[in-house]
Amino acid sequence: MENCIFCKIAQKEVPSEIIYEDEKVIVFKDLNPKAPVHLLVVPREHIASVRELEEKDKEIIGELFLVAKKVAEKEGIGESGYKLAVNVGEGGGQEVFHLHIHLLGGWKNGKR
């Protein structure tokens, strides 16, 4: 999708700190971290938001969660725990209209 920052990151037209990538999913550091670990789990395919999800997207939704789990373990926050968050629409705080899961964690002493 033209002019979509996450499409550009997925296509490496815009640099980012990539933590993980495969055929369907890319994970990179949030530019404005709101936690010691703040990553974005993003499908390569452009889907604007949860509101645009369709039956055919069932598989990619599953992939996103499995990648989130895998990356959280790799980052060492699996056991301490973490938060997965999806903002939907402007009222839900969504600013980038390319579907993504925020992966947040790494707080010390369980504080957040």
Residues lying near ligand AMP in the complex (CB under 6 A): 5, 16, 28, 30-32, 40, 87, 93-96
Between 91 and 110, how does the x/- string for binding to Zn ion read (CB under 5 A)?
-------x------------
- Taking the C-alpha atoms of residue 112 and residue 108, their distance in angstroms, rounded to an integer, is 8
Report the SS3 class of residue 67.
helix
Nearest approach, Cβ of 15 to ligand AMP (angstroms)? 8
Q: Choosing among ligand AMP, Zn ion, none, which partner's interface includes residue 7 (Cβ < 5 to 8 Å by kind)? A: Zn ion
CB 67 within 8 A of CB 37: no
Q: Choosing among ligand AMP, Zn ion, none, which partner's interface includes residue 96 (Cβ < 5 to 8 Å by kind)? A: ligand AMP
| Contact with Zn ion (CB under 5 A) among 29, 46, 69, 112 | 46
CA 30 to chain centre: 9
CB nearer to ligand AMP: pick between 15 and 55: 15
Q: How far is CA 110 from CA 3, 29, 30, 40, in A?
A: 39, 21, 21, 21
The answer to whether 100 is a known catalytic residue is yes
- Taking the C-alpha atoms of residue 20 and residue 87, their distance in angstroms, rounded to an integer, is 22
**Where on the chain is the footprint of Zn ion (CB under 5 A)?**
1, 4, 6-7, 46, 98
